[in-house]
């Protein structure tokens, strides 16, 4: 229906899924037609919804794209527009719709009776489509939501799909739809509604996803658990659909100002991500291990991640792999022991190189695996010196909860030393719930240190938890979302492989004369969690 044929007072209907996959119909009365102005993205249809499907909740995120069908002069229902914005009114019953001509990329012409309402258009809030992430346990859902809030990017953490599954849905107007960054055990997508269908072409949302133009994302159906009611309608606390991405049915190819556009058929190219975590059995020091660790439990998560690096939009490899690692660790451990050691290998297969990129490391710090994983995958995303086609990412990790622990009580050495000379440093240590003992190592005084009285600061391992480490990797993703790094990085694939292979971690005692900084590892302790700190006075002579 042309916008010029839309009149105030028209009694129309809207289509959207409010439970499961069945399309519900509810009333939508046209209140007025609003002319666009220079500050808005075009004219809008002001409407009010009612009916059993929405009386209790109103509309909110997830309803974006719901088509409004109005009768023409012959009583035939025509598609007049797609629900796109709310106005923040209590109850969420009044909203704005993008004219269907704008959704389809045409220029609508409002009737002469259409009024101007710049204040209303300025107050309008897009029913933005938050990223919905499925397949995560409650601890990871909370961490991810916090990281997203800090970045100003709304994220909803939903359960996995329904236990009995659901059949592939036909993406007809009113059907729930997802634009997916990943699918599989960890699914990430933005949930909305199909506004229009022409053959295999599908238009949805009635507003942009990120307004980034050409895209290469998954076009998916979706399952709606329920509509979560919040009548306030304020930013971030409005009514929304609790839904989960479903089957991949095609490709999302364009992210325009007034719609996202896709095509049912072949899916876009994706990168396989496999993460396997195994717990080693054994007795944990100071008490029994969690039950899941005693049996050497193994968990594997598999996902497919879209690749938009050719569009200068990167990929979600870093986020999906970090989420998968965190989720697999939580499932294997059951609970997080206070002292954990992790052995992790990362392998990245690329089409342009016979041997995979990657590294293997041991960690006593819970954040270490996530830091190295994020750094390596962000380097792959940012690589610009030649063609690089990631084919798959695999992570294999082994985790133990029986790491012995010792505390650094004090350290002694000679009174003076010259720059560049080696000196013995004797440590006094105590085993956790055990005896005192000592250990001596040889330390080489830096050649560039100035003469005078100095203090050598020694510090053991300060481990972060696994959850803290995963939250830091989420922050990295949202900080870089939708942008490409300006850092040049390695200038060949071989140099990239060498850089990633150089991620060598040494856990143990660190030493520095600097006022701040961790300093280099001077006493490796890969199988001992050495805690505590000490200060060693030393006079540097010429």
Q: Which pLDDT belongs to residue 13? A: 97
What count of other Cβ atoms lies within 10 Å of the Cβ of residue 485? 14
Q: State the pLDDT at residue 461.
A: 81
Q: Which two tokens stand for residue 241?
A: 């659909």
- Stronger pLDDT, 389 or 151, i.e. the higher one: 389
Q: What is the pLDDT of residue 284?
A: 43
Q: Residue 443's pLDDT is what?
A: 95
Query: Mean pLDDT in the chain?
Result: 87
Domain containing 120 — which CATH number?
2.40.10.10
Determine the pLDDT at residue 144: 80
What local confidence, expressed as pLDDT, does residue 289 receive? 47
Final residue before a domain boundary, out of 207, 238, 264 = 264
Q: What are phi and psi of 495, to 5 degrees?
A: -65, -35
Phi, psi of 290 (to 5 degrees): -55, 150
**Segment among 131-140, 212-221, 382-391 with least mean pLDDT:** 131-140
Mean pLDDT across 512-522:
85
Label residue 408 by pLDDT band (50, 70, 90): very high
Same structural domain, 351 and 479: yes
Q: Which of 69-83, 457-471, 483-497 has the highest average model confidence (pLDDT)?
A: 69-83
Judge whether residue 512 has pLDDT over 80: yes
Find the radius of gyration of the CA atoms of the chain: 29
- My answer on whether 479 and 344 are in the same domain is yes
Q: Report helix, strand or coil for 368.
A: helix
Cβ neighbors of 414 (< 8 A, separation 6 or more) are: 423, 424, 538
Per-residue confidence at 494, pLDDT binned at 50, 70, 90?
very high
Residues of the chain with pLDDT > 70, as a percent, come to 86
List the single range of 233-237, 416-420, 498-502 with lowest mean pLDDT: 233-237
Is pLDDT at 336 greater than 80 in this prediction? no
Same domain for 40 and 122, yes or no, is: yes
- What is the spatial distance between Cα 196 and Cα 193, in angstroms, rounded to a whole number? 9
User: CA triplet 153, 158, 160: central angle to 5 degrees?
Assistant: 135
Task: Give the span between the Cα atoms of 157 and 438, in whole angstroms.
Answer: 50
Q: What is the pLDDT of residue 110?
A: 65
- Looking at the fold, whether 357 and 490 belong to one and the same domain comes out as yes
Among 126, 159, 174, identify where a domain stops.
126
Give how far Cα 275 sits from Cα of 161, 297, 300, 309, Å. 20, 14, 6, 22
Which residues touch 523 (CB under 8 Å, ≥6 apart)? 427, 439, 441, 508, 509, 530
**One domain for residues 342 and 469:** yes
Does one domain contain both 136 and 182?
A: yes
The reply to whether 114 and 46 lie within a common domain is: yes
Mean pLDDT computed over 195-203: 97
Q: What is the mean pLDDT of residues 156-171?
A: 86
Q: Is the pLDDT of residue 148 over 80?
A: no
Residue numbers of the domain that contains 78? 3-126
The residue assigned the tokens 């944990």 is: 284
State the residue for tokens 């193994």: 298
pLDDT, residue 467, reads 67
Predicted pLDDT at 118: 60
Q: Give the residue from 224, 242, 264 where a domain finishes.
A: 264
- For 268-279, the pLDDT digits (tens) are 999 999 999 998
Number of domains the chain contains = 4
Q: How confident is the model at residue 185 (pLDDT cuts 50, 70, 90)?
A: very high
Residue 422 CA to residue 159 CA, distance in Å, equals 58
Higher pLDDT, 40 or 375: 375
More confident residue, 178 or 293: 178
| For residue 463, pLDDT beyond 80 | no
* H-helix or E-strand spanning residue 314: strand 314-315
pLDDT of residue 115: 65
User: Closest by alpha carbon to 395, among 456, 467, 322?
Assistant: 322
Percent of the chain exceeding pLDDT 90 equals 58
Task: Render the burial of 191-228: b for 16+ CB within 10 Å, e for the rest.
Answer: bbbbbbbeeeebbbbbbbbeeeeebbbbbbbbbbeebe
Q: How far is CA 311 from CA 187, 214, 215, 484, 487, in A?
A: 22, 7, 7, 10, 18
Residues 364 and 511 in one domain: no
Lowest-confidence segment of 75-89, 226-240, 264-278, 424-438 by average pLDDT = 226-240
Of residues 472 and 97, which shows the higher confidence score?
Answer: 97
Residue 479 pLDDT = 65
CA 222 to CA 177: how far, in whole Å? Answer: 5
- Looking at the structure, do residues 97 and 168 belong to the same domain, yes or no? no
518/302: higher pLDDT: 302
- Binned at pLDDT 50, 70 and 90, residue 465 comes out as low
pLDDT at 85 over 80: yes
pLDDT range class, residue 290, cuts 50, 70, 90? very low
Question: How does residue 453 score in pLDDT terms, banded at 50, 70 and 90?
Answer: very high
Are both 284 and 239 inside the same structural domain? no
Residue 442 pLDDT class (50, 70, 90 cuts): very high
Dihedral angle of Cα 432, 433, 438, 440, to the nearest 10 degrees: -10
Confidence band for 88, pLDDT divided at 50, 70 and 90: confident
DSSP codes, 165-205? --PPPP--TT-EEEEEEEEESSEEEEEEEEEEEETTEEEES
**Assigned token pair, 248:** 């991949």
pLDDT surpassing 50 at residue 459: yes
Q: Which of 262-266, 284-288, 317-321, 433-437 shows the lowest per-residue confidence on average (mean pLDDT)?
A: 284-288
Calpha distance 196→246 (Å, rounded): 20
> Do 366 and 470 sit in the same domain of this protein?
yes
Top-confidence residue, 88 or 383: 383
Predicted confidence at residue 286, as pLDDT, reads 41
11 φ/ψ angles, rounded to the nearest 5 degrees: -95, 105
List pLDDT tens digits, range 213-252. Answer: 999 999 999 999 999 988 765 555 678 999 999 999 999 9
Each residue of 22-39: pLDDT tens digit? 999 999 999 999 887 655
Give the model's confidence band at 181: pLDDT under 50 very low, under 70 low, under 90 confident, else very high. Answer: very high
User: Is the separation of the CB atoms in 7 and 78 below 8 Å?
Assistant: no
Could you tell me if 480 and 334 lie in one domain? yes
């Amino acid at each position: 229906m042309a916008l010029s044929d839309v009149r105030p007072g028209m009694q129309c209907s809207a289509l959207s899924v409010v439970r499961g996959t069945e399309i519900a119909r509810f009333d939508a009365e046209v209140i007025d037609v609003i002319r666009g102005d220079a500050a808005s993205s075009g004219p809008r249809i002001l409407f009010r919804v009612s009916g059993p499907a929405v009386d209790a909740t109103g509309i909110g995120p997830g309803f974006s794209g719901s088509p409004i069908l109005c009768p023409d002069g012959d009583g035939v229902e025509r598609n007049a527009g797609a629900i796109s914005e709310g106005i923040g009114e209590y109850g969420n019953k009044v909203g704005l719709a993008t004219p269907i001509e704008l959704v389809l990329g045409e220029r609508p012409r409002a009737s002469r009776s259409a009024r101007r309402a710049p204040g209303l258009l300025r107050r309008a809030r897009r029913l933005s489509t938050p990223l919905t992430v499925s397949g995560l346990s409650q601890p990871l859902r909370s961490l991810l939501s916090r990281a997203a809030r800090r970045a100003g990017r709304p994220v909803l953490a939903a359960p996995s799909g329904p236990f009995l599954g659901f059949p592939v849905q036909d993406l007809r107007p009113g059907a729930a739809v997802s634009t997916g960054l990943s699918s599989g055990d960890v699914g990430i997508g933005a949930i909305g509604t199909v506004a229009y269908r022409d053959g295999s072409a599908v238009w949805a949302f009635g507003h942009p996803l990120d307004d980034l133009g050409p895209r290469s994302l998954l076009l998916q159906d979706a399952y709606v658990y329920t509509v979560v009611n919040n009548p306030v309608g304020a930013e971030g606390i409005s009514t929304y659909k609790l839904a989960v991405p479903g089957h991949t049915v095609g490709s999302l190819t364009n992210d325009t100002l007034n719609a996202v556009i896709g095509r049912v058929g072949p899916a876009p190219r994706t990168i396989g991500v496999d993460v396997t975590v195994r717990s080693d059995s054994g007795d944990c020091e100071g008490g029994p291990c969690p039950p899941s660790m005693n049996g050497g439990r193994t968990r594997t998560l598999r996902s497919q991640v879209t690749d938009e690096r050719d569009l200068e939009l990167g990929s979600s490899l870093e986020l999906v792999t970090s989420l998968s690692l965190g989720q697999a660790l939580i499932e294997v451990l059951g609970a997080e022991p206070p002292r954990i050691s992790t052995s992790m290998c990362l392998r990245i297969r690329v089409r342009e190189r016979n041997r995979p990129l990657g590294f293997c490391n041991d960690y006593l710090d819970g954040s270490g695996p996530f830091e190295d994983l994020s750094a390596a995958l962000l380097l792959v995303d940012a690589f610009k010196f030649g063609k690089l086609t990631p084919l798959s990412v695999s992570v294999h990790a082994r985790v133990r909860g029986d790491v012995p622990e010792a505390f650094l009580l004090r350290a002694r050495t000679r009174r003076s030393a010259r720059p560049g000379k080696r000196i013995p440093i004797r440590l006094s240590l105590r085993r956790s719930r055990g005896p005192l003992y000592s250990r001596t190592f040889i330390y080489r005084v830096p050649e560039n240190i100035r003469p005078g009285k100095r203090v050598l600061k020694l510090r053991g391992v300060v481990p972060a938890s696994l959850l803290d480490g995963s939250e830091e990797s989420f922050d990295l993703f949202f900080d870089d979302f939708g942008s490409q790094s300006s850092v040049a990085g390695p200038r060949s694939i071989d140099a990239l492989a060498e850089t990633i292979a150089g991620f060598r971690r040494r856990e143990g005692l660190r030493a520095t004369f600097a006022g701040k900084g961790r300093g280099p590892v001077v006493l490796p302790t890969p199988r001992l969690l050495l805690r505590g700190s000490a200060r060693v006075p030393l006079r540097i002579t010429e």
